[in-house]
């Protein structure tokens, strides 16, 4: 048993140390040397067609042994016994070991977050990890039936393994720091289309947001969640393009007490998992401004969507909720509406409204 164990250990070490170019050179050298020896031995049936020899050699070294090709001369049989099979088994075992090691390394990279995602574009970044909220965030993102198929990349600094190993739509990366420029390049921060910042505390969320704000795409949608309004206000001073959401549990309790069922309405409006929910669409270039009354009625009739608010700004600043019927909607305005599923801008006939 001891020699066999040593042989296995040797193969593992050989597979680990060999580079892929060296591995392919070994495969090629084994095949060429055996082919030349068969030529010298006069094994014409095995060497007449190169493709036949390649097929025969793979059948022998992989120990499949179909038997449809075999040497006929004594010299040929000796070559098979003392050269082809021993050399082929060594090369084949090393190749299998190298391939297995490749897949193991890929799986480990996915689990421990060491992969490089510099090639990602238009992806969604989730910055920060919270056991109670991150999983729900991922479910809500994927719950949008008409969402663009952007890759989701979860980025953490904690020493944890991939919490979503079986979810093909979520990749995982572990960073040394959110202030390290090299690490931010590894997650393709400047190419991200959507960014959610959700730290374990308001201080961590504020720190991450300030660290990344310089390197993000100016057109990216960035949102950060806070419990303390003063921290959100501080971030807005330095990074006005970031949309800050504030914990509203106190307001929700009061609304539920004053108007029973308010919490259920809010729950449905914020969830993409069941029923109608809240969406946003930006108006394209219009021939002329549209009165809100006309837009509201046409949207409700033609698309079963109810517009409840609009803003001139992507982050929702200066939001006008329940505008008056004569309010004019202009090109580039952001319309917030309730519908059973997302309605895309190109699914709406804007000409009939202008």
> Strands 124-127 and 152-156: what pairing?
parallel
Q: What are phi and psi of 39, to 5 degrees?
A: -60, -45
Contacts 24+ apart (CB under 8 A), 24-33: 26/91, 26/94, 27/91, 27/95, 30/61, 30/87, 30/88, 30/91, 31/57, 33/83, 33/87
Q: What pLDDT is attached to residue 190?
A: 95
In the chain, the percentage of residues whose pLDDT exceeds 70 is 93
φ/ψ (deg, to 5) at 113: 75, 30
**Percentage with pLDDT > 90 across the chain:** 51
Residue 66 pLDDT level (bands cut at 50, 70, 90): confident
Cα gap 195→216, rounded to integer Å: 9
Rg of the chain's alpha carbons, rounded to an integer?
A: 31
Of the candidates 201, 246, 236, 252, the one whose C-alpha atom is nearest the C-alpha of residue 315 is 236
pLDDT tens by residue, 154-176: 999 998 888 988 888 999 999 99
Write the DSSP string, 69-132.
S---SHHHHHHIIIIIHHHHHHHHHHHHHHHHHHHHHHHHHHHHT----TT--S-EEEES--TT
Q: State pLDDT tens for residues 193-246.
A: 999 999 889 999 999 999 999 899 988 999 999 999 999 999 999 999 999 998
Bigger pLDDT: 6 or 218?
Answer: 218
Sign of the dihedral through C-alpha 230, 234, 240, 245: negative
The mean pLDDT of 82-86, rounded to a whole number, is: 90
| pTM reported for the whole predicted model | 0.69
In degrees to the nearest 10, what's the CA dihedral of 186, 154, 149, 137? -160
**pLDDT score, position 36:** 93
Among 6-20, 118-132, 309-323, name the one with the lowest average pLDDT: 6-20
pLDDT, residue 122, reads 93
* 348: its two tokens: 């709406």
Query: In b/e form, how buried is each residue of 59-69, taking b as 16+ CB within 10 angstroms?
Result: ebbeeeeeeee
pLDDT in tens, 245-295: 988 888 888 888 888 888 888 888 888 887 889 999 999 999 899 999 999
pLDDT at 9 (0 to 100): 64
Higher pLDDT, 164 or 17: 164
Cα-to-chain-centroid distance, residue 214:
23
How big is the CA angle at 115 (ends 109 and 116), to the nearest 5 degrees? 170
Contact in structure between 169 and 93 (CB atoms under 8 Å): no
pLDDT band at 1 (very low <50, low <70, confident <90, very high): very low
Give the residue-averaged pLDDT of 128-147.
Answer: 87
Q: For residues 340 and 273, is the Cβ–Cβ distance under 8 A?
A: no
17 falls in which pLDDT band (50, 70, 90)?
low
Check residue 5 and give its pLDDT.
67
What per-residue confidence (pLDDT) applies to 221? 93
pLDDT at 11: 58
Least confident range of 30-34, 105-109, 177-181: 105-109
Instruction: Categorize the per-residue pLDDT at 320 as very low, low, confident or very high, splitting at 50, 70 and 90.
Output: very high
CA distance 67 to 327: 85
- CA distances for 325 relative to 51, 236, 291, angstroms: 78, 32, 7
What is the rounded average pLDDT for all residues in the chain?
A: 88
């Amino acid at each position: 048993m001891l020699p066999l164990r040593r042989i296995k250990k040797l193969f593992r070490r050989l597979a680990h140390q060999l580079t892929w170019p060296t591995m392919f050179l070994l495969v090629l050298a084994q095949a060429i040397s055996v082919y030349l020896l068969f030529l010298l031995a006069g094994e014409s049936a095995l060497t007449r067609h190169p493709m036949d020899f390649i097929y025969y050699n793979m059948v022998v070294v992989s120990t499949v042994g179909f038997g449809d090709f075999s040497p006929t001369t004594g010299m040929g049989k000796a070559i098979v016994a003392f050269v082809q099979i021993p050399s082929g088994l060594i090369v084949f075992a090393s190749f299998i070991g190298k391939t297995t090691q490749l897949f193991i390394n890929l799986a480990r990279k996915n689990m421990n977050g060491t992969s490089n995602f510099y090639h990602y574009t238009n992806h969604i970044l989730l910055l920060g990890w919270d056991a109670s909220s991150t999983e729900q965030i991922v479910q809500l993102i994927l719950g949008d039936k008409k969402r663009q198929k952007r890759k989701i990349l979860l980025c953490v600094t904690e020493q944890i393994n991939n919490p979503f190993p079986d979810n093909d739509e979520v990749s995982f990366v572990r960073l040394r720091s959110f202030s390290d420029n090299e690490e931010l390049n590894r997650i393709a921060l400047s190419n991200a289309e959507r960014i959610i910042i959700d730290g374990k505390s308001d201080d961590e969320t504020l720190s991450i947001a300030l660290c990344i704000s310089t390197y993000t795409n100016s057109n990216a949608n960035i949102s950060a969640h806070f419990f303390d309004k003063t921290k959100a206000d501080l971030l807005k001073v330095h990074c006005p393009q970031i949309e800050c959401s504030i914990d509203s549990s106190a307001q929700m309790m009061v609304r539920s007490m004053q108007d029973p069922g308010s919490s259920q309405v809010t729950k449905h409006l914020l969830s993409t998992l069941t029923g109608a929910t809240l969406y946003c669409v930006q108006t394209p270039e219009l021939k002329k401004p549209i009165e809100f009354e006309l837009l509201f009625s046409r949207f409700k009739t033609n698309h079963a969507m109810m517009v409840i608010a609009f803003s001139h700004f992507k982050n929702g600043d200066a939001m006008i909720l329940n505008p008056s019927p004569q309010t004019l909607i202009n090109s580039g305005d952001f319309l917030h509406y309730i519908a059973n599923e997302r309605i895309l801008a190109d699914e709406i006939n804007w000409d009939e409204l202008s």
